[in-house]
Structure 1
Amino acid sequence: MSLVPWAYEVSRRNLSGPLPRRWAHVQGVARKAQTLAAAVGNDASLLEAAAILHDVGYAPHLAVTGFHPLDGAVYLKGIDAPERLVHLVAHHSCAVKEARLRGLEEQLADFRDEEGPVRDALWTCDLTTTPHGEPTDFASRVAEIKQRYGPDDLVTVFIDSAQQDLADAITRTTSRLREFAY
């Protein structure tokens, strides 16, 4: 089985039953990844696979640390997922900043942040898709996250600290798409 169908099956198996809203979100993120394929060239399949798997660590039976990027990456590594895919899941959406707040930065450091077009596109997909899998803009997504978690939650502190990095990734991805449109 090729990477993308395999990734969909792994994600479906882990998220669709226990977390149907999370399953809807990752499907929407994957649809967005398909629209950004030109921004990552030959890595389009990797981007789509990372998009459908980025939140697999939320699955209750996979949660070890309670930090879904790390839990997802550890799970994927354990089932011999491709290394780049594992690292993209570990570092999706500026996870390093939240890992610091949670005291998990050292554990996350076992995974490399590739800081390139695929990573930027993955962040873009996640931060422009609602929890229900619908397209949205970045500002609305950030506002939704803050409202959902509340002003004093660690996730709100994280999103405030990561907002510029996330916005920059979206800008870079948008610029890459424009380059391919001409």
Structure 2
Amino acid sequence: MRHGVAWAFGLAEDLLAEALPRRWAHSQGVAERATELAHVLGTDAELLRAAAVLHDVGYAPSIAATGFHPLDGARHLRVVHGADERLVRLVANHTFALWEAEERGLRGELEAEFPVLEEPSLIDALVYCDVTTTPDGRPTTSVQRVAEIRGRYGDDSLVGRFIRRAAPELHACVARVEARLVAAPDGSAHPR
């Protein structure tokens, strides 16, 4: 990876800590969850931690352009920082972003610029980290997290429609990662 985890943490902190402290707390919590998966990710552990802490940088007012944070964050990482392509694509497509992009009329744009990585275990891992972390950075379940998002945005909102549609897949990702964690508590097996 061209840029390391320390760089990712520094950039996320610069973009989020002051402007959006709760989003920064969430990002730190997501990165902490990623650390817990290191033994099942092997060589991709650092990539996951970097993507975890950077996944929401597109919310930063200083870089928000389209109002769709996965697209704005990925563009910033690619254009301004020349970040690793796998990292950029993970940020762009985190937590079923294509489905939300569809709700926003941005699916074609997101897909064309940032194709989804063909690495299901890594995608699952980032979904797991995101949807098992509260907005304040504490661990939670995917069921509680989906309920929290629906409550915060409302079922009839764009985000509410997206999260209702994505919920079964979010829960399935979490279940797959939890199964890998149980099967490889000592790090002897990798999810790839």
Provide the TM-score with structure 2 as the length reference. 0.91
Match of 1:80 in 2: 82
8 Å Cα contact 1:39-1:121 kept in structure 2 = no
- Is 1:117 matched up with 2:121? yes
Percent identity over the alignment? 51
Structure 1 residues 15-94: aligned runs within 5 Å: 15-78=16-79, 79-94=81-96
Q: Select between 132-141 and 37-46 the one with higher mean Cα deviation.
A: 37-46
The answer on whether the counterparts of 1:87 and 1:111 sit within 8 Å (CA) in structure 2 is yes
Indicate the SS of the match to 1:40.
helix
CA distance in 1, matches of 2:72, 2:167: 23
Where do residues 130-169 of structure 1 align in structure 2 (5 Å cutoff)? Answer: 130-169=134-173
Count the aligned residue pairs: 182
Deviations 1:95-143 (A, max 9, x none): 0100001000011112121242111111000000000001101111001
Q: Which residue of 1 aligns with 2:107?
A: 105
- Bigger drift between 167-176 and 122-131 goes to 167-176
1:62-114 deviation per Cα after TM superposition (whole angstroms, max 9, x unaligned): 11110001110000011101000000000000101000010000111121212
Name the amino acid aligned to 2:124. D
Distance in 1, Cα, partners of 2:157 & 2:129 = 24
TM-score (norm 1): 0.96
Moved over 6 A (4+): none
Distance across 2 between alignment mates of 1:75 and 1:2: 14
Q: CA deviation at 1:151?
A: 2.3
Unaligned runs of 5+ in 2: 187-192
Aligned partner of 2:154: which letter? Answer: G
Stretches of structure 1 that go unaligned for 5 or more consecutive residues are: none
Quote the Cα distance in structure 2 between the aligned partners of 1:49 and 1:76.
Answer: 12
Provide the residue aligned with 2:190 in structure 1. Answer: none
Q: 1:39, 1:149 → 2: CA distance? A: 34
Task: Tell me the C-alpha RMSD between the 2 structures.
Answer: 1.3
